């Protein structure tokens, strides 16, 4: 008996890999398959180059829904369907004009973009003196006397001394979102903001802004960081210079649109869902490559990887391509509402909406126990450069699921360049690297694999 | 007494930061200063855009020596000097021509680059049938009968299934370095190699090749990966197709050149040196931005940071801008020889020659004790994304110092894109991000700071 046991033991050791070895092999296979595959990269090329910027409510957004829906059907997943939502339909109109007119410097054309949800100036445009401020406190100190009838120029640069460029963005973003409301309270007739970005260049960065009931709506545009520096310089020599700007953007009635959803049905617990998502809409002044074309094709890639590797998950793996992240977040909100109504059980949701750059980790928004469980898998990801397993937020689209107690996470990627092209004309396909994007997709797929296997 | 002690204790705790806090503050200050400073970035712009590709022995290499020497002088370091060396002077000559001529496909122009140290074809060029192989074994099997009088086409693609793209490069590089010798042994009259890179594009990648005494010297060129795919495809339908290629590259006599060196003198141990370096030469078909313009300006930046932060090191910090890394490595070899001759004590040397992308860690080539000491500082670097402290090689230029028992290290950066532009026309300034490059410089500066403070 003893001899036989030893034989069995050796047989087990030599021919049956341990659980840890199995996990390592499968996790590795996700990455190996992904980095040598171009399916998602070619899908991104189509979304960005053939369709282009996919503003919520636009024909391009509709084309992206149609394209991804057909693509997911063709890829043969178990279930591909649309979730109907009503979305805002803000349109940019004609190309923006923004011009400095100074008795000292002459005329200077600026690179400008209307902010999302802003009203337009009308065909004649706006023409007024400019008052530069760095923040809302300065605005308040100047008061109505100095501001009334003028264009307010918010020129606070994003701080760039920190590693996390999201903090840089956060440090300047209220100029874009609230600047018009703040300035209008003191009688301003328009708002110019310094683009919220980390680059020194001529690319203007758009993004959503908001009005407030009871406060006069005034037109708002962003100018590039270089143009902001030029305008600021000119104002030092010529406080009486004028700026002219013209936008014809406007709001149309809401239109019908869709979240696009595809699933691989679970073999053991088909009613328990693991979600991976990104958002299909983008701004219209670039190609929406990193924001968030990559999140979309990475989500599809997660499903492709399971299929390609022949892994049949126990739980249902669902890719959700959310509509309208950029403007009103209607896709994410509607999705969460429906989950609640239908009492669909979600055990985990992860979003990729930080760009398709080198993945570095996961930001986990879950209870302590689940967070610890996920962190314990770090070792499997380290050979692929994914090391940073930390507590933090997930994503705008899956965020509304939080109140239902669902464990959430976000893919953390190298953010150093992200705010160089975020919401700007240079957010194009050429700035995405196939390997980096695919490593991110593989990272999410491997994490989902482990959650599916061991539960949360 | 008791009361006084408590008071003193509180005073100490409240007003005197601990050593660990001090270290953290100073390490952070290196990064904070670097990412908001554009000195190195503008130096890189000059090296790449005003001077351009800096082939060893070329007028551009001489201009780069002159420029960096003056720049270092202007920056006010304690000592700036040149180290004379003799370097090879291979010149590319006229723009390369490479063309497929097929009765099936007609004529196809290819994107080609002569390999460094290759002889040229002469003005008439070479015209011959082509035989495709993947490796030296296939070549051997075909033998002289099949190869004699033909052009050998080495078409083994770099493997791309691994995280570390250096492995991809390593998997295909012998085609470039030894292909001509191997093929000439069987009577080939020329060699075409598939560019050793990770991208699918039309950029041909150059790099050095070698001949062997006693083996016929035949001309060698690289074609882009896309062209290699096209040629391979055409050969499947038309084995008798011809390739024409023409190069006028040739070797001139060695010329005088220099390593450029600058120092901040140590306050306590001026004769003990900590070295940081990169290489000033580059290939000439691009701008030598990531390879290794970034290593050069990062090395200068390390000195600038010490000066800007007012930190007076105990040991001498020396930046060495090596000449001739790409062709014969004469700069690195001469430097090590002189260190030995002059018995200059070096306690540590670090090189940046993996590109100016996001820094991720340090590769340490030192004894166990020193390696452990360095690894223990990891925590200070983690907030800045530098997490990977591992054993490994350092760099080609400082490598020759190893036999003198000097502790070496290399900066590890994100390598996913590096072999997309390594030795190719797209290695240009525009592909370098200021923040990523500066994080790398700050990482090296902070490591040097800790080594200077605590010794090794």
pLDDT in tens, B56-93: 999 999 999 999 999 999 999 999 999 999 999 999 99
Given a cut of 60, is residue B4 above it in pLDDT?
no
DSSP annotation of B186: T
Token pair belonging to A198? 């980390």
Residue pLDDT, tens place only, B406-447: 999 999 999 999 999 999 999 999 999 999 999 999 999 999
Tell me, yes or no, whether A99 lies in a domain.
yes
Q: What is the pLDDT of residue A1?
A: 46
Q: For chain B, give the percent of residues with pLDDT over 70.
A: 96
pLDDT of B101 strictly over 70:
yes
Select the residue from A24, A25, A32, A35 to test the B interface by mutation, using most B Cβ atoms within 10 A.
A35
**Residues from chain B contacting residue A384 (CB–CB below 8 Å):** 163
Work out how many CB contacts closer than 8 A connect A with B. 59
Q: Give the burial class of A182: count Cβ atoms within 10 A of its Cβ; 0-12 exposed, 13-18 middle, 19 or more buried.
A: buried
Q: What is the pLDDT of residues B365-376, one digit of tens each?
A: 999 999 999 999
Among chain B residues, CA nearest to A360: B385
Query: In this complex, is the C-beta atom of B115 within 8 Å of any C-beta atom belonging to chain A?
Result: no
Q: Is residue A3 part of a domain?
A: no
| Nearest Cα to Cα of residue A303 among A68, A455, A75 | A75
CA–CA separation, B41 and B436 (whole Å): 11
Residue B99, pLDDT above cutoff 80: yes
Say what the pLDDT of residue B159 is: 87
Q: How confident is the model at residue B8 (pLDDT cuts 50, 70, 90)?
A: low
Report CB contact under 8 Å: A35, B433.
no
Residue B16, pLDDT score: 64
* Total count of domains within chain A: 2
Give yes or no: residues B272 and B297 share one domain: yes
What domain range includes position B133? 96-248
- With CA atoms as reference, the chain B residue closest to A417 would be B433
Let me know whether B86 and B101 are in one domain. no
Mean pLDDT of B27-36: 97
Please report residues of A whose CB lies closer than 8 A to that of B386.
none
Q: Is residue B237 part of a domain?
A: yes
Q: Are residues A106 and A153 in the same domain?
A: yes
CB count in 10 Å sphere of residue B376: 12
Instruction: Name the closest residue on chain A to residue B161, using Cα atoms.
Output: A32
| Most B CBs within 10 Å, among A163, A169, A203, A355, to test the B interface | A163
Residue A383 CA neighbour count, 13 Å, CB half = 12
Chain A residues with beta carbon closer than 8 angstroms to that of B417: 433, 435-436
Distance CA(B155)–CA(B232), nearest Å, equals: 8
- A201–B contact, CB cutoff 8 A: no
A294 and A174 assigned to the same domain: no
Asked if residues A122 and A97 have their Cβ atoms less than 8 Å apart, the reply is: no
CB proximity under 8 Å: B 431-450 to A: 433, 435-436, 439
In this complex, is the C-beta atom of A36 within 8 Å of any C-beta atom belonging to chain B? yes
The string of pLDDT tens digits covering residues B194-230 is: 999 999 999 999 999 999 999 999 999 999 999 999 9
Whether residue A2 lies inside any domain: the answer is no
| CATH code assigned at B241 | 3.50.30.30
* B331/B399 same-domain check: yes
User: B7 pLDDT exceeds 90?
Assistant: no
Residue B42 in domain: yes
* Sign of the Cα pseudo-torsion (A178, A183, A184, A188, in order): negative
Beta strand residue intervals within B181-236, DSSP E: 190-194, 220-223
Strands A126-133, A242-246: pairing is antiparallel
The residue in chain A having the minimum alpha-carbon distance to the alpha carbon of residue B432 is: A417
Q: Which residue from B minimizes the CA distance to A158?
A: B36
For chain A, residues with pLDDT lower than 50 are 1
CA distances from B387 to A18, B28, B358 (A): 29, 15, 12
pLDDT attached to residue B19: 86
CB A187 within 8 A of CB A147: yes
* DSSP assignment string, A67-80: HHHHHHHHTT-SEE
The catalytic residue positions of B are 325
- Whose CA is closest to B280, among B428, B444, B66? B66
pLDDT of B1: 46
Q: Touching check for B384 and chain A: CB below 8 Å?
A: yes
- B11 part of a folded domain: no
Facing A161 at nearest CB: one of B35, B160, B198: B35
Q: Considering only CB atoms, which chain A residues are within 8 Å of B439?
A: 163, 416
| pLDDT at B305 > cutoff 60 | yes
Tell me: do A102 and A85 sit in the same domain. Answer: no
Residue-wise pLDDT tens digits, B360-412: 999 999 999 999 999 999 999 999 999 999 999 999 999 999 999 999 999 99
- Tell me, what's the pLDDT at B293? 98
Q: Of the candidates B248, B267, B286, which is a domain's last residue?
A: B248
Residue with tokens 């296997």: A453
Split at pLDDT 50, 70, 90, the class of B160 is confident
Q: Is residue A87 a contact partner of residue A330, using CB atoms and an 8 Å limit? A: yes
Whether the predicted pLDDT of B11 surpasses 90: no
Show which of B188, B213, B248 is a domain's final residue.
B248
For residue A31, the chain B residues in CB contact (below 8 A) are: 163
Please name the residues in contact with A158: beta carbons below 8 A apart, sequence gap of 6 or more: A168, A169, A171, A172, A196, A197, A198, A419
Nearest to B444 by CA among B403, B408, B417, B397: B408
Average pLDDT value for chain B: 96
Query: In the predicted model, what is the mean pLDDT of residues B93-122?
Result: 98
Residue at a domain's end among B181, B214, B248: B248
B387-416 residues touching A, CB cutoff 8 A: 387-388, 414, 416
d(CA A332, CA A337): 9
- Judge if ipTM > 0.85: yes
Residues of A in contact with B418 (CB under 8 A): none
Specify whether the CB–CB gap between A440 and A301 falls below 8 A.
Answer: no
Q: What order of strands is seen across the sheet that includes strand B242-246?
A: B106-109, B97-102, B242-246, B126-133, B151-154, B190-194, B220-223, B112-114
Cβ–Cβ of B163/A198 closer than 8 Å? no
Give the N- to C-terminal CA distance of chain B in Å, as an integer.
40
- Of A37, A51, A34, A39, nearest in space to A428 by CA: A51
pTM above 0.90, yes or no: yes
Please name which of A39, A90, A94 lies closest in space to residue A61, comparing C-alpha atoms.
A90
The CATH number of whichever domain residue A377 belongs to comes to 3.40.630.10
Nearest by CB to residue B383, choosing from A32, A163, A439, is A163
For an interface test with A, the pick among B164, B381, B435 (most A C-beta atoms closer than 10 Å) comes out as B435
């Amino acid at each position: 008996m003893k001899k036989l046991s030893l034989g069995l033991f050796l047989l087990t050791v030599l021919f049956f890999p341990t659980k840890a070895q199995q996990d390592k092999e499968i996790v590795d296979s996700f990455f190996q398959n992904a980095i040598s595959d171009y399916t998602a990269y070619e899908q991104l090329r189509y979304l960005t180059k053939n369709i282009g910027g996919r503003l919520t409510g636009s024909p391009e957004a509709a084309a992206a829904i149609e394209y991804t829906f057909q693509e997911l059907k063709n890829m043969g997943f178990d279930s591909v369907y649309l979730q109907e939502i009503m979305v805002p339909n803000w349109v940019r109109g004609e190309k923006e004009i923004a011009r400095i007119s100074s008795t000292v410097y002459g005329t200077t054309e600026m690179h400008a973009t209307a902010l999302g949800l802003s009203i337009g100036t009308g065909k004649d445009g706006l023409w007024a003196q400019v008052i530069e401020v760095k923040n809302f406190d300065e605005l308040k100190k100047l008061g109505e006397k100095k501001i009334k009838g003028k264009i307010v120029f918010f020129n606070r640069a994003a701080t760039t001394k920190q590693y996390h460029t999201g903090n840089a963005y956060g440090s300047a973003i209220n100029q874009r979102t609230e600047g018009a409301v703040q300035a209008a309270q003191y009688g301003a007739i328009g708002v110019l903001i310094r683009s919220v970005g980390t680059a020194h260049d001529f690319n203007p960065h758009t993004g959503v802004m908001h009005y407030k009931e009871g406060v006069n709506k005034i037109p708002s545009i962003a100018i590039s960081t270089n143009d902001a520096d030029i305008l600021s310089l000119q104002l030092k020599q010529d406080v009486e210079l004028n700026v002219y700007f013209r936008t014809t953007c406007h709001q149309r009635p809401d239109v019908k649109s869709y979240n696009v959803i595809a699933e691989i049905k679970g073999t053991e617990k088909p009613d328990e869902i693991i979600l991976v998502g990104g958002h299909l809409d983008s701004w219209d002044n670039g190609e929406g490559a990193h924001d968030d074309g990559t999140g979309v094709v990475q989500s599809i890639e997660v499903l492709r990887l399971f299929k390609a590797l022949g892994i049949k998950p126990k739980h249902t793996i669902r890719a959700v391509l959310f509509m309208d992240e950029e403007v009103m977040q209607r896709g994410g909100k509607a999705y969460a509402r429906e989950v609640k109504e239908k009492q669909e059980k979600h055990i985990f949701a992860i979003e990729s909406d930080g760009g398709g750059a080198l993945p570095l980790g996961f930001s986990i928004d879950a209870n302590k126990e689940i967070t610890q469980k996920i962190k314990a898998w770090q070792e499997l990801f380290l050979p692929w450069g994914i090391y940073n397993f930390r507590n933090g937020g997930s994503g705008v689209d899956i965020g509304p699921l939080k109140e239902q107690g669902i464990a959430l996470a976000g893919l953390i990627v190298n953010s150093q360049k992200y705010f160089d092209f975020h919401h700007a004309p240079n957010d194009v396909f050429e700035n995405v690297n196939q390997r980096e994007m695919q490593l991110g997709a593989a990272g999410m797929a491997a994490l989902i694999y482990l959650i599916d296997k061991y539960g949360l």
